[in-house]
Amino acid sequence: MLIDESRSDTWNEFVAASEYPTVMQTWQWGQLKATTGWEPMIVALEDGGAIRAGALLLRRPIPHLGRSLLYAPRGPVLDWSEPALLDELLAEIRAVAAQHRAVALKIDPCVPDDRTDVLQALRSRGFRFTGSPDPDLGGTQPRYVMKTDLRPEPDELLASFHSKWRYNIRLADRK
């Protein structure tokens, strides 16, 4: 089923509570991408009103063909230890893809490299890796992402950095 704006908070809570949360699957990311020509849609599986799995899909029409491309940035979001859940979600995504005459679905799930079970699950369902052979790069998004908590005050945050990082930040600020 498609999630509408009235359930955006529920969707964001589901993404935040997932094993590998990412801002690129939030409702707001979809709205941001809408300003650049993508049409955001959230496909979700529910059980008793609770979201079990889903994906923010970005749709872009292919000019002059009446077809489109679908992209799930850092998605889909689900419990990867449940293969049946992946199959059920892919069936929902295929239905949406058919409605929008999509010719391709690109995904880049937010999972660590050591989750070989995820790679095997996706390969067995017809997905193939199309990213760079460079181990530091992914397909569309960088493979390795570092996160920093931005809630502390700027001075407190800067104090938590390595001294060389602080030096480089101050140097960049001066230049």
Residues 12-21: tens digit of each pLDDT: 999 999 999 9
Give the pLDDT score at 133: 61
Residues 16-57: tens digit of each pLDDT: 999 999 999 999 999 999 999 999 999 999 998 899 999 999
Q: Where in the chain is the domain with CATH 3.40.630.30?
A: 2-144
Given CATH 3.40.109.10, say whether it is the number of domain 2-144.
Answer: no
Give the pLDDT score at 140: 63
pLDDT band at 2 (very low <50, low <70, confident <90, very high): confident
Read off the pTM. Answer: 0.78
Give the pLDDT score at 110: 85
**Average pLDDT of 140-147?**
64
Residues 80-137: tens digit of each pLDDT: 999 999 999 999 999 999 999 999 999 989 888 788 899 899 999 999 877 666 555 5
Torsion of CA 70, 136, 23, 115, to 10 degrees: 80
Give the pLDDT score at 141: 64
Residue 38 and residue 59 in contact, taking contact as beta carbons nearer than 8 Å: yes
Give the pLDDT score at 128: 86
pLDDT band at 162 (very low <50, low <70, confident <90, very high): very high
Residue 83 and residue 91 in contact, taking contact as beta carbons nearer than 8 Å: no
pLDDT band at 145 (very low <50, low <70, confident <90, very high): low
Give the pLDDT score at 114: 85
β pairing state of 39-47 and 2-3: antiparallel
What secondary structure, in 3-state letters, does the chain show? CEECHHHHHHHHHHHHHCCCCCHHHCHHHHHHHHCCCCEEEEEEEEECCEEEEEEEEEEEEECCCCEEEEEECCCCECCCCCHHHHHHHHHHHHHHHHHCCEEEEEECCCCCCCCHHHHHHHHHCCCCCCCCCCCCCCCCCCCCCCCCCCCCCHHHHHHCCCHHHHHHHHHHHHC
